[in-house]
């Protein structure tokens, strides 16, 4: 049980808290929702700052006593349960004599029986509720039936390239990009974005050593708090080796059998089932995600390997520091992250294409029953640097999937070409990342 004295300290801290500088993100959140608003995502992606941005905006029209903010990772709230939360409201009433109208709970999954608590608070119909969490359980598909239909969820990613440039106080003006100096600066920022990733605090650091130190600490925290502690992992060494290996193959195919063979070759005892569990835990910590083969058959999607992607390029290059050799894979990973981000406000799902001759297309975008777009990603500065197999694969997939919207994302080549009656558009990565849609 948490003591009332400790709760008072937490409440008084909030009362006197000064807001840090908060840079606005692109996520648009209704400040007066009828449902519980949950902000989920990988640690350090900016969920707390987004919650504080909500608080700051609410305080323009409400007193601080009416807006209750609690971070459940506060050291005085360790071991908190749902009954303690009731005590927080009682203590708040004693201190301020005012009713709470807005609840902002940071890392709510730290509360024992948090799902029951949220349902009870929602049913009281007295509060507007905003919560954050690094747990997959806050996503709509994972919520218990008692909370479904009562929650609207937003996934918070590390910065998009547009947000990244804003954090650098750098504005893109399309005409100015024609100037070599401005274009060079933009591509330099893109290289930084691909190399060190886009966690907000990492983006704000100027020193490369400090960026790497932050990424290392983020990885250790995610590993410990969101995977090891949550899933009671005993073989920590095996887990860390596995996750670093999976991150190092981002943009490539994952096979539990191959990973099992690799780990056994270096003397680690493991089973395929354990490795599949580890993969699942890393997904639920928002550290990695997958793309399946495009097929209407469930059997095919289960039988073929998945392609694995990491939530942030910084982790890829921290685990496997060979950026210059890996830039094509980093480009593809950034496209996958951006497509995942856009899934938050568009109905498109993405897959990869591969036929019996081994021809591959990186991304198949599907809306409903229709294939909307085929995307190939290649590290190329000029048309003659694009391998013909990339083009042939696009054309074959176009024929088989009945899709004429073909895009090849390059490093810095732009143009259009008609081949065998089909138009292929070539677009630089920076330009695609700065667009507000996929087309």
Domain map (residue ranges) of the chain: 4-155
Two structure tokens written together for 179 = 């100037």
CA separation for the pair 183, 167 (Å, rounded):
18
Those residues with Cβ within 8 angstroms of residue 79's Cβ, 6 or more apart along the chain or in another chain:
2, 112
Those residues with Cβ within 8 angstroms of residue 103's Cβ, 6 or more apart along the chain or in another chain:
68, 121, 127, 128, 129, 130, 131
Q: 388-411: per-residue pLDDT in tens? A: 999 999 999 999 999 999 999 999
Residue-by-residue DSSP string for 366-407: EETTEEEEEEEE---SSGGGS-HHHHHHHHHHHHHHT---EE
What number is the average pLDDT over the span 206-212?
96
Those residues with Cβ within 8 angstroms of residue 99's Cβ, 6 or more apart along the chain or in another chain:
66, 93, 126
CA separation for the pair 166, 174 (Å, rounded):
15
CA separation for the pair 332, 378 (Å, rounded):
8
What number is the average pLDDT over the span 422-431?
96
CA separation for the pair 133, 107 (Å, rounded):
4
CA separation for the pair 297, 221 (Å, rounded):
39
**Topology of domain 4-155, per CATH?**
Rossmann fold (3.40.50)
CA separation for the pair 406, 394 (Å, rounded):
7
Those residues with Cβ within 8 angstroms of residue 413's Cβ, 6 or more apart along the chain or in another chain:
380, 381, 382, 383, 385, 386, 426, 428
Q: 78-96: per-residue pLDDT in tens? A: 999 999 999 999 999 999 9
Q: How confident is the model at residue 174 (pLDDT cuts 50, 70, 90)?
A: low
> For residue 335, which of 401, 411, 391 has the smallest C-alpha distance?
411
Those residues with Cβ within 8 angstroms of residue 274's Cβ, 6 or more apart along the chain or in another chain:
238
Check residue 135 and give its pLDDT: 74
CA separation for the pair 232, 81 (Å, rounded):
20
**Between 4-16 and 82-96, two packed helices, what is the crossing angle to 10 degrees?**
60
Average pLDDT, the chain: 92
Q: How confident is the model at residue 144 (pLDDT cuts 50, 70, 90)?
A: low
- As a whole-number percent, the residues of the chain with pLDDT over 90 amount to 80
DSSP state, residue 69: E
Residue-by-residue DSSP string for 196-218: H---HHHHH---HHHHHHHHHHH
pLDDT > 60? residue 277: yes
C-alpha distances in angstroms, 407 versus 229, 287, 352, 387?
43, 28, 14, 14
Check residue 439 and give its pLDDT: 46
Helix (H, G, I), strand (E, B) or coil at 168: coil
Q: How confident is the model at residue 34 (pLDDT cuts 50, 70, 90)?
A: very high
Q: 252 burial class (0-12, 13-18, 19+ CB within 10 angstroms)?
A: middle
Bridge partners for 67 per DSSP: 102
> For residue 7, which of 67, 66, 95, 106 has the smallest C-alpha distance?
95
Dihedral sign, Cα of residue 313, residue 315, residue 316, residue 317: positive
pLDDT > 60? residue 271: yes
CA separation for the pair 168, 358 (Å, rounded):
42
CA separation for the pair 405, 285 (Å, rounded):
34
């Amino acid at each position: 049980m948490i003591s009332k004295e400790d709760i008072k300290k937490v409440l008084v801290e909030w009362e006197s808290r000064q807001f840090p500088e908060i840079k606005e993100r692109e996520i648009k959140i209704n400040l007066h929702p009828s449902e519980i608003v949950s902000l989920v995502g990988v640690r350090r992606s900016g969920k707390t700052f987004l919650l504080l941005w909500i608080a700051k905006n609410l305080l323009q029209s409400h007193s601080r006593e009416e807006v209750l903010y609690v971070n459940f990772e506060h050291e005085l709230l360790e071991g908190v349960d749902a009954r303690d939360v009731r005590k927080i409201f009682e203590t708040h009433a004693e201190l301020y004599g005012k009713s709470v109208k807005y609840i902002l709970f940071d890392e709510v999954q730290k509360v024992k029986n948090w799902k029951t608590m949220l349902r009870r608070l929602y049913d009281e119909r007295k509060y507007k509720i905003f919560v954050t969490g690094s747990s997959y359980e806050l996503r709509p598909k994972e919520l218990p039936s008692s909370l479904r239909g009562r929650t609207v969820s937003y996934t918070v990613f590390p910065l998009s390239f547009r947000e990244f440039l804003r954090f650098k106080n750098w504005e893109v003006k399309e005409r100015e990009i024609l100037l070599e100096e401005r274009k060079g600066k933009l591509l330099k920022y893109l290289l930084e974005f691909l190399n060190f990733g886009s966690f907000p605090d990492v983006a704000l650091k100027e020193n490369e050593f400090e960026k790497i130190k932050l990424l290392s600490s983020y990885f250790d925290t995610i590993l410990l708090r969101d995977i090891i502690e949550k899933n009671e992992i005993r073989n920590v060494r095996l887990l860390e080796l596995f996750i670093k290996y999976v991150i190092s193959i981002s943009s490539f195919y994952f096979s539990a059998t191959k990973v099992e063979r690799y780990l056994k070759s270096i003397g680690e005892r493991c089973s395929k089932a354990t490795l599949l569990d580890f993969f699942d835990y890393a997904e639920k910590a928002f550290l990695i995600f997958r793309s399946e083969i495009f097929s209407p058959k469930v059997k095919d999607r289960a039988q073929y390997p998945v392609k694995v992607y990491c939530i942030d390029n910084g982790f890829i290059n921290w685990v496997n520091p060979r950026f210059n050799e890996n830039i094509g894979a980093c480009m593809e990973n950034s496209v996958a992250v951006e497509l995942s981000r856009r899934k938050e406000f568009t109905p498109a799902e993405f897959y990869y294409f591969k036929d019996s001759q081994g021809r591959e297309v990186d991304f198949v975008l599907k809306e409903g029953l229709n294939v909307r777009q085929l995307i190939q990603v290649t590290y190329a500065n000029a048309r003659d640097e694009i391998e013909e197999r990339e083009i042939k694969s696009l054309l074959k997939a176009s024929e088989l999937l009945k899709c004429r919207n073909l895009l090849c994302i390059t490093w810095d080549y732009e143009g259009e070409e008609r081949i065998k009656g089909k138009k292929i558009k070539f677009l630089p990565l920076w330009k695609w990342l700065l667009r507000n849609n996929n087309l």
